């Protein structure tokens, strides 16, 4: 049995699909880069939801903000997993604090949905 090298780890192809067939996994460096980009985008989206709200007519902005918060937690955990298997350092964005939970009934002030909700309840 041969010993694994860092290159084997960075191009891991041992993943199994749900059907039991062998599938090729993306290189971990590629997944690392995607997680970093997604984490940056999710932080921006969370701030945007709190400031401007969403256009989702079925859920208050607080529900959507908490959903995006969960995405942030997922990408942070995934980066921890990748970095623990490789020699890659955790990115700077990883150390940004996770946003606090938002009240699920929160509506961003001035958002279209908040105005509709206010008019509906008047």
Look at residue 72 in the predicted model and tell me its pLDDT: 99
- Structure letter (DSSP) for residue 28: H
DSSP readout, 93-122?
Answer: GGGSPPPPP--TT---TT-HHHHHHHHHH-
Q: Tell me: the pLDDT tens digits for 81-102?
A: 999 999 899 999 999 999 999 9
Question: What pLDDT does residue 58 have?
Answer: 87
Residue 120 has a pLDDT of 66
Q: Give residue-wise pLDDT tens across range 2-32.
A: 555 555 555 554 444 455 566 677 899 999 9
The mean pLDDT value of the chain amounts to 85
Pull the structure tokens for residue 92: 């700077």
At 17 the pLDDT is 46
pTM value is 0.75
């Amino acid at each position: 049995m041969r010993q694994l090298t860092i290159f084997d780890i960075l191009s891991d192809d041992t993943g199994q699909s749900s059907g039991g067939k062998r599938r090729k996994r993306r290189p971990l460096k590629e997944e690392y880069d995607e997680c970093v980009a997604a984490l940056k985008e999710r932080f921006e989206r969370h701030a945007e939801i709190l400031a401007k709200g969403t256009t989702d007519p079925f859920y208050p902005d607080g529900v959507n903000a908490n959903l995006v918060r969960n995405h942030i937690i997922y990408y942070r955990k995934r980066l921890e997993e990748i970095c623990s298997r490789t020699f890659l350092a955790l990115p700077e964005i990883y150390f940004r604090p996770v946003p606090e939970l938002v009240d699920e009934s929160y509506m961003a002030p001035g958002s279209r949905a908040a105005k509709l909700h206010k008019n509906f309840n008047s």
